[in-house]
Chains A and B, each alone.
Chain A
Amino acid sequence: MKGQTAIMEYMIFVFMAMVIIFFVVALIFGYQILQGSSRKYSAVEENTMFALHKMMTTPLISTPEYQKSAVLEDAKLTVLTCEDVEQLFGEGLWVQVKAFYEKPDCTGIQNLPQRLACQQVRNDIEQTESRECTGSGQNDYPDCGTWTFCPENRKERMVYRSLPVNIYRKMDNTVMLGSLTVGVSGGAS
């Protein structure tokens, strides 16, 4: 009887030890798999940073006269295509440049007709900001403020990074404030 009890104790001990080792190993391997995804995400982030940096400094879309800050030239942006972007910076990129137009502040206006008129001006300016610059008709300076290259990849998760930049409007030799956003495909959705 004593011998049987000892064997039972031994078997229970071995079983519990195996269960504990199994759970610890499963936890660590599960964590390693998550780490692998995280490393892939870091690699995508690095690609995004690289693309941002290259875009701000390439003479194909930036203007060489302004050396200190990232100044993109509107005429060069208008003629740039998705194929150019893919050839220069790699496939799987989504790029958008947006110009910021100063808008009136309507919040302090008490008079209703004046506030409505102000709001209408704001709406018109926001429409101009969102209009794609294709170089023809209304989609040309000064009635447009957005340049988008390549469709967004909706099947894969995209990592987006956005930086403030300047946009040089060649027609009237002025520099506007804007944003450059780059999206890089990375990882499964």
Chain B
Amino acid sequence: MKGQTSIMAMVIAMVLVVFIIIFMLSSAFSGQEDQTLKTEFRDMYTNNLLLSLLATDTDCGRFSDMLKSEYFEGRTCFSEKVGAYMKGVLNATGNTNYAWMIEAEPKDFEGITKTWGDESVTEKPGYWDARTILSYSGRQLEIKLYIRTK
């Protein structure tokens, strides 16, 4: 009798272990798929935001030209307008809780790095970014956009 009870207990334990292993394996794989989709969308969003912003015309000129003239010539149109446009497009796309930072760094010449927006965005991990290059009189400026949830 005791022997039968022990065998039954072992069989039940084995069945439970098999089910738990199946359960954990299926959880692990489905989590990965969701993460890939989220990352893909975030990359697309950030890339589109940077390129669309730079291609936008305003009464002060195109954003890409305003950024270059601010960096190289000291004009302030870019600083005056970028905040309102970024806020407007983030709101329009339902992302009111995003913080952003734009950085302009010299790529092939010596110069300073200028930033606009919230400088704390890159202080902790968990932000995502997009990059592009702007040319001005033979010099290249690397423009980076960083975004994170607040």
Contact = CB atoms under 8 A, between A and B. Distances in A.
A162 B19 contact: no
Contacts of B52: 69-70, 164-166, 177
A52 interface: yes
B140 interface: no
Interface stretch (A24-32, A83-91, A135-143): A24-32
A17 interface: yes
A10 B5 contact: yes
B47 to A, nearest CB: 9
Dominant SS among interface residues on chain B: helix
Interface string B93-134: 111000000000000000000000000000000000000000
Choose among B26, B41, B55, B94 the residue with the greatest number of A CB atoms under 10 Å from its CB: B55
B15 A21 contact: yes
Interface of A: 6, 10, 13-14, 17, 20-21, 24-25, 28, 31-32, 35, 38-39, 42, 45-46, 49, 52-53, 56, 66, 68-71, 98, 100, 102-103, 105, 160-166, 174-179, 181
11 contacts: A39-B30, A49-B41, A49-B44, A71-B55, A100-B88, A105-B84, A163-B93, A164-B48, A164-B53, A164-B92, A175-B55
